[in-house]
Amino acid sequence: MRGIVRPCRSHLGPELHARWQAHLCGLCLTLRDVAGQAERVLTGYDVLLLSVLVEAQAGKVETTTAAPCPLRGFHRATVVSSTSTAARLAAAGAVVSAAAGLVDKIDDDDLPRPARGAARRVASRLTSSGSVLAESVGLDPSVVLSAPAVSASAEAVEGATLEALLAPTGEAVASLFRHTASVAGKPANAVPLAEAGRAFGALVHLLDAVEDRQADAAAGRFNPLTSTGTDAATARHLAEELVARVGAALARTDLVDRALVDVLLGRELTAAVTRVLPGACACAPGALVPQQRTGTSSVLSVWALMAQAVIIGGSWGGGGRRRRFGRRSDPYGYQSGYRTSGPSCGQCLACNCCANRACNACGCGCNS
């Protein structure tokens, strides 16, 4: 699934990367265990933030040792357990968000007519299973599930502002972020986390609108940027403001361990804005940020997905050497398995390395 948070292993470092991968793999396995094998396709980089936020507030969550997986180079790893409320909340968020997204596509006639009947059945199944899963962690899924209808109402208002058009997505994500405080037993964090989620959701919608603008225009679909006459410079200014709102809200949140959250909802959000809305690099005025490659990106992404299964421990720009580094782990005890001479395409799939010229970096040498 497309996501705006795509952390690169070289940027996270081995400890934080192991923790991030523990949440990613934990979400995938939780979807398998509680929703079904097919639902593993709903594993997304943004929705696992729910699991990360729970751990950041409550401390280390329940973990388990996962079996070898091709995307981990066929080695075992310590992952967030599917029995933990952190992983189940993330899974619930993934399923109900997918249900809402599919309903939105059906309502907007974005799917071929022959596929709409099957899509409605899948949406109904996801809504049902997502609601059951949400109930198991005390989450009210209604805000997320009703987001498409609320968005449609906002789009029908003549002269609606861009902020009003982005608000329904923001409220849906706010409800999910807010509930992490309940799951973690930190009710005082509910308000700032809701504010962070509101800004993050609006940012996700905004960046999606930027990426989809040309395709929407060609297909005659509604796009909030086109509807409001928002240019790229204004969109970037709003995006930077939303990133700042996320940071300000998290600064007021009581977190046991901020390390991973500060990277994923700080630096990585700034990188996402730069990736989608290229501009001048702050550390090298005038340097342009390389845009994502077109044409070959999908082929490269598929190759990246298979790279670990074919060339285990392969290296990006290196010789593909690997060595076992024993029981190295971070203070939370997450085992990252192998250290390679350089991150392989499979290991860096999340940040879309193979489809980017500079792997989320600005290309000016700052590696920020």
Tens-place pLDDT, residues 219-258: 899 999 999 999 999 999 999 999 999 999 999 999 999 9
Q: How does pLDDT run across 169-183, given as a tens digit for each residue?
A: 999 999 999 999 999
How many beta carbons lie within 10 A of that of residue 248, not counting itself? Answer: 13
Q: How far apart are the first and last CA of the chain?
A: 25
Q: Is the pLDDT of residue 214 over 60?
A: yes
Between 244 and 115, whose confidence is greater?
Answer: 244
Between 35 and 57, whose confidence is greater?
Answer: 57
Q: How confident is the model at residue 158 (pLDDT cuts 50, 70, 90)?
A: very high
For the chain, give every domain's residue range. 9-355
Angle between helices 9-34 and 85-107 (to 10 degrees): 80
Q: Is the pLDDT of residue 18 over 50?
A: yes
Torsion from C-alpha of 194, 146, 40, 312, nearest 10 degrees? -50
Average pLDDT over residues 60-72: 87
Q: How does pLDDT run across 246-300, given as a tens digit for each residue?
A: 999 999 999 999 999 999 999 999 999 999 998 644 443 333 344 443 333 333 3
Q: Is the pLDDT of residue 30 over 50?
A: yes
Residue type, 133: L
CATH annotation of 9-355: 1.10.600.10
SS3 state of residue 29: helix
Q: What is the pLDDT of residue 332?
A: 58
DSSP state of 292: P
178 φ/ψ angles, rounded to the nearest 5 degrees:
-60, -40
Q: What is the pLDDT of residue 71?
A: 78
Whole-model pTM: value is 0.78
Q: Please state the separation of Cα 162 from the chain's center in Å.
A: 22
Q: Are 204 and 46 in contact (CB under 8 A)?
A: yes
**Across the chain, what does the average pLDDT equal?**
79
Give the CA angle between residues 258, 203, 136 to the nearest 5°: 65
Average pLDDT over residues 106-115: 84
Q: What is the pLDDT of residue 211?
A: 94
Torsion from C-alpha of 196, 199, 204, 205, nearest 10 degrees? 150
Q: Which structure tokens are listed for 146?
A: 């009703």
Q: What is the DSSP string of 80-126?
A: E-TTSHHHHHHHHHHHHHHHHHHHHHHHTT-S-HHHHHHHHHHHHHH
Q: How confident is the model at residue 149 (pLDDT cuts 50, 70, 90)?
A: very high
Q: Which of 318, 310, 305 is nearest to 352 (CA)?
A: 305
Q: What is the pLDDT of residue 96?
A: 94
